[in-house]
Structure 1
């Protein structure tokens, strides 16, 4: 299934994309697409429902973030072998972990605000893992059972804030609008192999990132298991799994985003995003 949230910011309603690519309103089935509705039992209830009986959302609607009320937004750095080569960093022997503020989360086509003082605004297309049940000290063999599904994440970064300020990455990762997610949460059963999906990003029509998730250092099961040894993962938490090569920082010379630029990105089977860079208010 492709689950989604539609409507104005803060007023999103739960939906589902049917086989004719129409949005169906799920409000009569679940209150929202969030941690409470992502258990195996809840997803089975949605799947068993007569989708054709649900109302079609006929008017054009904004896609909201595909998961509501996200508790933790966890990111993995340097998780593609070729991205490590691009940045000159060694391939990690265990996942590089940082967090992104949940206030950064926006819809997949909402604008990205260039923060005040930003000179090195960068892009990173990533696959997101959405947790479906509490995971604590989970084995790698069992880890997939804790995954509700997958989505597209844009891990927007301000490299000056990230690398030239406090010594922590968070300042350059958590700015408002730096975390578009969606358009869909694609349930685990509908993703045949999350480690064999084409992943891409363009800026103003020029392709910068073009890779495949098979190039990840640590796959979804490894990441869920690893993180669960240090923190409990809750339903609705998102793990952003790292980006392939082609980021602006890695260009020679570096290329950064400016107001008016258009970024488009997507992952095979998980959907596409499109954002325009906006000035800071």
Structure 2
């Protein structure tokens, strides 16, 4: 069975349209479990899909600490991933494992076992389980409505778990975790962002609002940071994410302080000798 992927929104679109081809064939071993070993990979972009065959799939986590090791293999349909195979004692990864192989082979027995695992799993316990469970149920409904058809996987907007701007950090505040995060009012100091947003693809979070001023977010030094704009006043200002591919929660405080000696004067402008009259 061939599975096509529509282009992902914004930061997920780098891979373009993918055609995922199942390589495993044949019957499972005597105990009825699917044989592992199938792989998938991107090929040339495919044609625009029939809207009826588009299946809203499973969103990114985002990947990082706390995400179950089985989540990304289900999302990417890596049916034989070691972590997915090792997690089959849990209801959601078991259902994902079986339905992934059922989709590869269009095997009625695997479809039936996957649905049984999905229905007997109880309520999902966290945001990753809820996202995977919902995507797998949409897959089952698609198969019932279009038996034998190849779904076109459409990456949905948003993420499985809420994105949160959790903390700000500067080189100075890192040495004193209990102190307010502060920067000189002169502007230009780097301020690093913390939270699960740092594990999104580069370019997903593009700017933050510092008080009434929007400034760009950069990637570097192993994280995301912005340079504090200059402020005419000392005191606290709020910091929120202004532009991102996905909604980001969190409103933090950045404290502007006035340096004892004031801000350094800008360097004098040196006339260009070539333009002298």
Identify the TM-score tier after normalising by the shorter chain: under 0.3
> Normalised by the size of structure 2, how large is the TM-score?
0.24
Q: Which has the higher helix share?
A: 2
> Normalised by the size of structure 1, how large is the TM-score?
0.24
Bigger relative contact order, structure 1 or 2 (CA pairs below 8 A, ≥6 apart)? 1
